[in-house]
Amino acid sequence: MAIIKTPIRTLFKIKSLSDTITTNEELWKEILQELELVVSKANFATWFQSTFIADQDSGRVVIGTPSAFVKEWLEDKYQKQILKLLRTRSPEVRSIEFKITPQSAPAVKKSPEHGPSEEQMDFREIYTDRETNLNPRYTFENFIVGAFNELAHASALAITKSLGTVYNPLFVYGGVGLGKTHLLQAVGNKIKKENPDKKVFYVSAERFANELVTAIRNNETGFFKDKYRSFDALIIDDIQFISNRTSTQEEIFHTFNTMYQLNKQIIFSSDRPPRSIQNLEERLRSRFEGGMIADVSEPDYETRLAILQSKTAEKEEYRPSLDVLEHIAASVRSNIRELEGSLNSVVVRSKMKKRPLSLNEVKDILSKNAKPKKILSAQQIIRRVAQFYDIHEKFLFEKTRRKEVVKPRQISMYLLREDFNGSFPYIGQKFGGRDHTTAIHAHAKISNDIKKDDRLKDEIKTIREQLYEEEKSG
Ligand code: ADP
Ligand code: MG
């Protein structure tokens, strides 16, 4: 089994809030765990995977990063957040700096005699293979299959058996936290394990786009193209990210065609089906639709319980009772990521108490964790709908009857009524002083259409997910 060797570097001892001595490693691990909760998986893997605390001295913390690109990105986007997290643990921290230290990322070492220690297991959580960019913790073995993801699972498994020939591309779509990244990475890990000489690569569409932009800026597009075309299997996660980005779409199209002609496998994931990705070039859409499209929906109660059971098997200490697991499965319905999160908070609490928790204690924890249903502003709803359909917000308020505006306008009205509890006169007024009957009509129309039109239903579901998700990530 591949395990991570803790890199040799000086461990500066610092005092944390709880007055226990924490090493830099431990401290950073805690920070990463927190960040993982608020940053998307793809972003987490892209920006935080090979970071660590390189140095710490009189209130100044230096964070090592693998490249200039990551360094700049972290400085730009995460500096404040990281500082805040550090300070909650270690109030004497005054400032942070980033530096490039490419060699210091954890190295892989084979160790036949010893199993991985606990600490090393934890490192595996955030470890990504350098060559494939895959995280070994995502496997088929720990992926639970139920009616909700059966098709996606079966298709994914099928391509590992005949690479590039059965379903090319495979396009997996579904809502937040339902296992798309896990499944895609499991495919990559399995292909690699069974065919060590095949070149497999996992990348988020966001990172792909960023790399492309950098390559263009540095006149290195030739290198970029060669790199991507050299893979036997290419996995691109969260492809909806490229809506609107013409140059990225162009590059993906060409990469795809080249790979396709050579019978190389491409796998995509997305939060929505190809036909719902706004401003996607037609030729790319038809490529996406030319292979296999499989969705993942939400797991039912039984499956949620099975997932919780499989996830506790590994954490044998203070194992939660069946009652407790049933309670979690019944109360956390949104997605698998939150299911895991709730289980983790229970496990953490039992570790602190050094005993399994009672059902009442668990109920208490979950009710504190449960985020109150977010109160949205009308503005947020309208902005989100406009973004989703990729039109300028102002069109929604104008008199235009263009089809691409009418639908988002009606959906905005519908959501203002359903999720904001707006009165019909208010809603009519809000949209350029329209009459309340217009709002009533829009609400009735969407309510009715949802029943017949699965695509519309999915779109509204995604918009809602994004609306309620916003809170967490921003
Ligand atoms: P998505 O990419 O769809 O947002 P992820 O793949 O990141 O979702 O999944 C969220 C979390 O839930 C991950 O920790 C993942 O391991 C876990 N998970 C998702 N689906 C399953 C499954 N079918 N079985 C076990 N764990 C799962
Ligand atoms: Mg994902």
Q: Which atom of ligand 1 is nearest to the CA of 185?
A: 6
**Can you read off the two tokens belonging to residue 426?**
């208010």
- Where does 67-179 have alpha helices with state H? 68-77, 79-89, 118-126, 150-161
4 secondary structure, DSSP code: E
CA 182/CA 156 separation, integer angstroms: 11
pTM, 2 dp: 0.61
What single letter denotes the amino acid at residue 464?
A: R
Q: Whose CA is nearest to atom 25 of ligand 1?
A: 143
Instruction: Tell me how far apart the alpha carbons of residues 69 and 207 are, in angstroms, rounded to a whole number.
Output: 11
Given the CA of residue 138, which atom of ligand 1 is nearest to it? 16
Q: Hey, whose CA ends up nearest to atom 11 of ligand 1?
A: 337
C-beta separation of 305 from 325 below 8 A: yes
Cα separation, 299 vs 177, whole angstroms: 11
Pocket of ligand 1 (CB under 6 A): 41, 142-144, 149, 176-182, 307, 336-337, 340
* Residue 340 alpha carbon to ligand 1 centre in Å: 9
Cβ atoms within 10 Å of 27's Cβ, excluding its own: 21
- Kindly state the tokens that stand for 46: 């892209």
Cα 115 versus chain centre, distance:
30
Are 85 and 48 a contacting pair, CB within 8 Å? no
CA 137–ligand 2 middle distance (angstroms) = 14
Q: List Cβ<8 Å contacts ≥24 apart for 427-431.
A: 430/378, 430/397, 431/396, 431/397
CB 430 within 8 A of CB 439: no
Residue-level pLDDT, tens digit, the chain, 474 residues: 334 333 333 334 343 333 345 678 888 888 888 888 777 666 677 678 788 898 888 889 999 987 776 787 788 878 888 998 888 777 788 899 998 876 533 333 333 333 333 333 334 445 788 899 999 999 999 899 999 999 999 999 999 998 988 899 999 999 989 999 999 999 999 999 999 999 999 999 999 998 988 998 899 989 999 999 999 999 999 999 898 888 889 989 999 999 999 999 999 999 999 988 888 889 999 999 999 999 999 999 989 999 998 888 665 678 898 899 999 999 998 889 989 989 988 988 888 888 889 999 999 888 876 655 567 788 999 999 999 998 899 999 988 889 889 999 999 999 998 888 788 888 998 898 888 999 999 999 999 999 899 889 989 988 988 887 764 443
CA 392 to each of CA 40, 232, 383: distance values in angstroms, whole numbers, following the listed order = 26, 40, 9
Measured by CA distance, the residue closest to atom 4 of ligand 1 is 177
Compute, in angstroms, the gap from residue 142 CA to the centroid of ligand 1. 10
Do 447 and 413 form a contact (C-beta atoms < 8 A)? no
